[in-house]
Amino acid sequence: MSKLIFPPFRFILSLLLLSLPFTVYAQADELTLNFSRDFGYSSGTGDIQGTFSMKVTGPADLERVVFLIDGQSIGEDSEAPFRIQFNTDSFELGQHTLSAIGYTTAGKELKSKEYQRKFISANEGWQSAMKIVGPILLLVFGISALSFIFPLILKGGKGNTIPLGSPRNYGFAGGTICPKCRRPFAMHWLSPNVLIGKLDRCPHCGKWSVVTRASLSALKSAEAAELEQAAETPQVLGETEEEKLNKELDDSRFQS
């Protein structure tokens, strides 16, 4: 019985052992081509525009890689990591085939898979990107606008006046100094960015300004200046005499 079972078993085992080196060898000789976006637009479905990189990984004895677009060399790299950068604007718009060929120290030639990519214009890339980013930006600016409009409607102008020199917490977004009244206040974290700073509203004077985050030392100096002003100017219910007079003048416009 054992003579009938073991010979077939040995035969199958021998085939498995013989196939193992070939399988490992085939995997080791694979040339893998990857892409990365350095700057530009990628649809995720094959449409690209801008600056991209092609990167290749392969066997340990890989010594040189030639990168191809439509079968034509666009450059080569002889040092790992094997990589080349290209810009889609340097080629005609439309469908292109991207691939790579690697050479080992033993002189063996290895080819990567071919990938299809459609090069589109900068205008197309911008329009496509805005279809994705636009609604997000509108939502963010909408929330930011509402965070300021509602307080204005409810309070009708200035925020609650904080007495001069009062201690305050500047919160997560940090503090800034109003360029109009020179008083420090906590920045609103939803304030919209305008390249050079944030558009924010001072809760003391009620005016809008483009402000930047101030250092802790600058905020402390502004608080100290408030204390000096408080010592020189009497306050009534958190308002200076000047603020009270201005308020009375504003109210008098509505009286007959």
In a domain, 47, yes or no: yes
Give the pLDDT of residue 17: 44
Q: Which of 184, 202, 185, 205 is nearest to 247 (CA)?
A: 205
pLDDT at 232 over 60: yes
**One domain for residues 161 and 108:** no
**One domain for residues 219 and 163:** yes
**One domain for residues 120 and 182:** no
> Which range marks the domain in which residue 223 is found?
143-237
Give the pLDDT of residue 215: 92
**One domain for residues 28 and 81:** yes
pLDDT at 6 over 90: no
- Residue type at 216? L
In a domain, 225, yes or no: yes
**One domain for residues 88 and 159:** no
Q: Is 137 left (phi over 0), alpha (psi -120 to 50) or beta?
A: alpha
Q: What is the DSSP string of 11-63?
A: HHHHHHHHHHHHHHHHHHT--EEEEEEEEEEE-SSSEEEEEEEEEEE--TTEE
**One domain for residues 58 and 99:** yes
Given 124, 152, 181, the domain boundary residue is: 124
Give the pLDDT of residue 28: 53
Given 94, 124, 154, the domain boundary residue is: 124
Condensed to tens digits (0 to 9), the pLDDT of residues 115-163 reads: 999 999 988 877 766 766 667 766 666 666 665 555 555 444 455 567 7
Contact 54, 98 (CB under 8 A): yes
Phi, psi of 179, deg, nearest 5: -70, -10
In a domain, 9, yes or no: no
Q: How confident is the model at residue 106 (pLDDT cuts 50, 70, 90)?
A: very high
**One domain for residues 119 and 149:** no
Condensed to tens digits (0 to 9), the pLDDT of residues 156-170 reads: 445 556 777 777 788
What DSSP character marks residue 193? B
**One domain for residues 148 and 217:** yes
Give the pLDDT of residue 11: 52
Give the pLDDT of residue 237: 44
pLDDT at 85 over 80: yes
Tell me the whole-structure pTM to 2 decimals. Answer: 0.46
Task: For residue 59, give the CATH number of its domain.
Answer: 2.60.40.10
**One domain for residues 223 and 177:** yes
pLDDT at 53 over 60: yes
**One domain for residues 177 and 228:** yes
**One domain for residues 160 and 107:** no
Q: How many domains does the chain have?
A: 2
